[in-house]
Structure 1
Amino acid sequence: MFLGIPAAAFAQIPTQPTGDEERPLAPIAPEEQVQKTEEVAQTGNIFHHKPGTPHSYWDNLEGHLSIEAGIAGNPWTSSGRNFAQFYVDRANTVTMNQILGSLSHPVEDVGHGYGIGFTFETLYGSDGRFDPTAGMGSGALNSLYQWIPTQAHIDFKFPWIFKNGIDVQIGQMYGLLGAEGTPSLARPFYTFNYASDYIVPFETVGIVATMHLTKKMDWILGIDAGNSTTFGQYGNNNKPKGYFGFAWNNLMNGKLNFHLIGHFGPQGNNGRTYTDGPWTSAGVGAIANEKMQYNADFLATYHINDKMSVTVNGTYLHDDLSRDDVYGVTTYFAYDINPSLTFNARGEVFRDNTGGTILEYSSFTSFTKALTNKPYPYYMAEPTTYGELTLGVTYRPDFINKHVHFGQFTFRPEIRLDKSLNGTRPFNKAAYPTAANGYNTVVRDGDNNMLWFSCDAIWAF
């Protein structure tokens, strides 16, 4: 049941079908165009253009840094854990989730319609436990706080075939599916929904091409090494995986954006099975090269007006290897009460047909070990239909930020209720395998709901 779990991976940023926010091309221009070039990338610029001098490509080099810390309060847990969570699994513990730093350059015109840019980004913190890429620093640190590279890609603009050209990214990049991203400000809440935590790719290494068929419609194709894996001994198998999908932008007078994207390919590990006491690795041998995984994601955002928006995200995963079907629908509502305060609401229904996907990786290194075919401790639930309702605010206190000349502070308190909708009891308990209990790892005697209160604080530049 659990042998295909690493293939069920992992999450990313929905509004960026090319992996990063698309910015207008910044031409290397005559003097009258220099001001427009500077407007493309102001915040975070490392080098500032000097008036009266020719524009340089490096004028738009950007550096950004964000720091997130928070606490997920759950007074009713007896395990010290928040079940079915990756990043905020530690209950009642103040945690530094991430120090995220990046060096990037927007795609900029280098002549004849061609453009080039790049992004390099790295993360240190407790979130690093669940966002590794095998073979790229994975396992460098083994404590609660770990270091990982999160992005390392070169971006190109080609004036080919279509009127608006083709964008290409090559390297390590965030996955294109899911509604919530790893960077703290790439999601409306501190906690994640089930789909973004468990069944969409966090990281891929490969090539993604976005073909601008029209001004409002994009065709997305990609080929990669798999969910959070690379190549050779750090690959899960020797078969390619990839993306196929479409995105529509600025429909209905700019009010509607949506995409339909799939990620397909064998995701199981073709290494042999290893054991360590009661624990087993994810390797299943050569059959992993044949067993497909199908992952599809629909995401639509409608801006009701300048202050309110509604987002619907439907995600589905089928894994031939684990014989699991996992799927869910999440709805978001956002209301900008004023420039400093946004109200957010999220509701989700999510089904794990076998119980083999939603589980708790119970050691600091369990997730990385699962990816790299090593035995890993975990516990899990019975087949469950999960319901989740989260209410919170994003508060950017003006009385603090107006006195801060470098960066901005954001606070996000929330209240969340998780519930089993089919009578199982997976919350607030743990299952530790022993000979006496037949090495059982399934939680059956916990609670059927989990009420918890969380808050994080973010400083970002």
Structure 2
Amino acid sequence: MKSHHRVWGLLVVACLFTGVSGKARAQVKVFSGLGHDTGFTRWLGGVTLTGQIEGGIMANPARPQPGYNFGDFFADHANQVQLNQAEFTLAKAIDSTRNTYQVGFTLEGMYGSDARYYQLLGVSDREWNARYQLIPAQAHVDVHLPWATRGGLDMQAGILQAPMGVEGLDPTSRPFYTLAYTSEYSVPFQHIGAMFNWHVTPMIDVTFGIDTGNQTSFGHADNNNAPAGYFGFNLNNLAHGRLKIVELSRVGPENAWRDIGHYEADHTQRFWNDVSAYYQVNKRLSLTAEFNYLHDEGTRGMGARGQFAGVDAESFISFLSYRINRDLTFNYRGEIYRDNNNAMVSTFRGNNSYMEALAGTGGEVVPGPSASSHGTTYGEMTLGVSYRPQIGHHVRVFMLRPEIRFDRALNGTTPFNGGRNNGMFTFGGDAVIGF
């Protein structure tokens, strides 16, 4: 297994130093040029295949023991190159602007170190114990129904990536290699269920959905026996088309019965709330702000003021993106994350520890500040650039993203670098190429 990791590491290093370092995504029509012009062949003609590879490294001069960048999922192994993602997606997209019945699908398989955090209990979480794992990142049917309003209703059903938050699993959808604390600890990752987006007016969309829980499936593979669901709205085309606001809330039990018992696991709720605003100042400058509040009734412990029932976390993130020229963009992210009970932020050491903790079966964890202390307010600032030149016909997107990151506990706790420091400095970036 070590030699296997070494091969992948060499491949990523080669990408980083030969210019195939960045992110690229190409699209191929799988069933183009079919002979008979029928409705089904026209439908097949819209099926596409995409592929994408991402690898990166975040260096830590403090050389933390036992070798982890605290509070970092995708770049958790300090000073080590990782193959984060190698994925292929077969898809038939639907067009929400067309007022007709439409059926599409998305099938995405992904291999790499990021898959450790996006497994589903009962689906793929026990198939692998290495750093590089394989998951069905998406597998859903997409339907557009021209019902009720001119915009109609969109539905996705199956294995879905969670819609909440600004930063997602796909590196093309976010400005940085690393994720904010909010994106790791205060939003869900994967679901089995159904999501609906109702286009009420050109300005208003309503979102709702139901699923088995965050990263769970059915029966004994669920960590409790109750469903969860979403509700929220989008406000589009505000401020003459420059502003968009997305509000999304979620409620349902998310704790494992093995940790707190069957009744408590089924009846104590977790409330997730996220509001994001996207503002395009001009052709070069865009601003994004995200506010998140999470409350969990099921997590209990001892704090500085005695026993507490339930945990809270609040956060605010600001993003700035400035396009310097056609190929180069400067990015900034600043975050304040308050972990009120020191129950949210931690690092998972084992390759399967994150999913084991979700299932309530253990998991080797590098904890944050002691739960007996006061809560911790984390500050994080990340600066970087995205180099994205136009390569050619076969590589539509080509991107290299170096970044530097500063993390700090703002109220005296020392969670970083093996519990030695109240701050952490890391630098590095990722490389992505797609076909």
Whole-angstrom distance in 1 between the partners of 2:202 and 2:394:
38
Whole-angstrom distance in 2 between the partners of 1:283 and 1:89:
29
Aligned to 1:44: 28
Counterpart check, 1:168 vs 2:155: yes
- Map Cα deviations across residues 69-116 of structure 1 (whole Å, 9 max, x no partner): 11100011321110011111100001111102111001269x982111
Residues 426 and 209 (structure 1 numbering): CA distance in 2 closer, same or farther, change over 3 Å? Answer: same
Q: CA deviation at 1:50?
A: 7.0
Residues 406 and 46 (structure 1 numbering): CA distance in 2 closer, same or farther, change over 3 Å? Answer: farther
Whole-angstrom distance in 2 between the partners of 1:153 and 1:88:
28
Whole-angstrom distance in 1 between the partners of 2:35 and 2:286:
40
Aligned to 1:416: 405
Q: CA deviation at 1:353?
A: 0.8
TM score, norm. by length of structure 1: 0.81
Contact 1:310–1:332, Cα closer than 8 Å, also in 2: yes
Contact 2:346–2:368, Cα closer than 8 Å, also in 1: yes
Aligned to 2:352: 365
Residues 112 and 426 (structure 1 numbering): CA distance in 2 closer, same or farther, change over 3 Å? Answer: closer
Whole-angstrom distance in 2 between the partners of 1:251 and 1:408:
30
Contact 2:29–2:49, Cα closer than 8 Å, also in 1: yes
Counterpart selection for 2:57 from 45, 50, 71 = 71
Residues 112 and 341 (structure 1 numbering): CA distance in 2 closer, same or farther, change over 3 Å? Answer: closer
Residues 230 and 50 (structure 1 numbering): CA distance in 2 closer, same or farther, change over 3 Å? Answer: closer
> SS of 1:107's equivalent?
coil
Counterpart selection for 2:382 from 377, 384, 390 = 390
1:159-238 alignment, distance < 5 Å: 159-238=146-225
> SS of 1:200's equivalent?
coil
Whole-angstrom distance in 2 between the partners of 1:283 and 1:99:
37
Question: Could you tell me which amino acid in structure 2 is paired with residue 44 of structure 1?
Answer: V
Question: Could you tell me which amino acid in structure 1 is paired with residue 232 of structure 2?
Answer: G
- Map Cα deviations across residues 19-52 of structure 1 (whole Å, 9 max, x no partner): xxxxxxxxxxxxxxxxxxxxxxx93322334799
Whole-angstrom distance in 2 between the partners of 1:387 and 1:185:
25
Contact 2:64–2:78, Cα closer than 8 Å, also in 1: no
Question: Could you tell me which amino acid in structure 1 is paired with residue 109 of structure 2?
Answer: T
1:27-106 alignment, distance < 5 Å: 43-49=27-33, 56-79=42-65, 80-106=67-93
TM score, norm. by length of structure 2: 0.86
Aligned to 1:352: 339
Question: Could you tell me which amino acid in structure 2 is paired with residue 206 of structure 1?
Answer: G
Contact 1:108–1:117, Cα closer than 8 Å, also in 2: no
Whole-angstrom distance in 2 between the partners of 1:369 and 1:50:
47
Question: Could you tell me which amino acid in structure 2 is paired with residue 107 of structure 1?
Answer: I
Q: CA RMSD in A?
A: 1.9
Question: Could you tell me which amino acid in structure 1 is paired with residue 430 of structure 2?
Answer: D
Structure 1: 5+ residue runs without aligned partners?
1-41, 273-281, 430-442
Contact 2:104–2:141, Cα closer than 8 Å, also in 1: yes
Aligned to 2:424: 450
Counterpart check, 1:334 vs 2:334: no
Contact 2:416–2:424, Cα closer than 8 Å, also in 1: yes
Q: CA deviation at 1:183?
A: 1.2
Aligned to 1:6: none
> SS of 2:93's equivalent?
strand
Contact 2:99–2:150, Cα closer than 8 Å, also in 1: no
Whole-angstrom distance in 2 between the partners of 1:112 and 1:425:
56
Q: CA deviation at 1:416?
A: 0.7
> SS of 1:286's equivalent?
helix
Q: CA deviation at 1:164?
A: 1.4
Whole-angstrom distance in 1 between the partners of 2:410 and 2:246:
29
Aligned to 1:136: 123
Counterpart selection for 2:255 from 257, 268, 273 = 268
- Between the aligned residues of both structures, percent identity stands at 38
Whole-angstrom distance in 1 between the partners of 2:116 and 2:255:
20
> SS of 2:239's equivalent?
helix
Structure 2: 5+ residue runs without aligned partners?
1-25, 300-309, 370-374
Residues 128 and 52 (structure 1 numbering): CA distance in 2 closer, same or farther, change over 3 Å? Answer: closer
Residues 112 and 192 (structure 1 numbering): CA distance in 2 closer, same or farther, change over 3 Å? Answer: closer
Contact 1:208–1:220, Cα closer than 8 Å, also in 2: yes
> SS of 1:367's equivalent?
helix
Whole-angstrom distance in 1 between the partners of 2:123 and 2:151:
34
Question: Could you tell me which amino acid in structure 2 is paired with residue 415 of structure 1?
Answer: I
> SS of 1:233's equivalent?
helix
Q: How many residues align?
A: 391
Contact 2:326–2:389, Cα closer than 8 Å, also in 1: no
Contact 2:236–2:244, Cα closer than 8 Å, also in 1: yes
Whole-angstrom distance in 2 between the partners of 1:184 and 1:140:
25
Q: CA deviation at 1:53?
A: 5.4
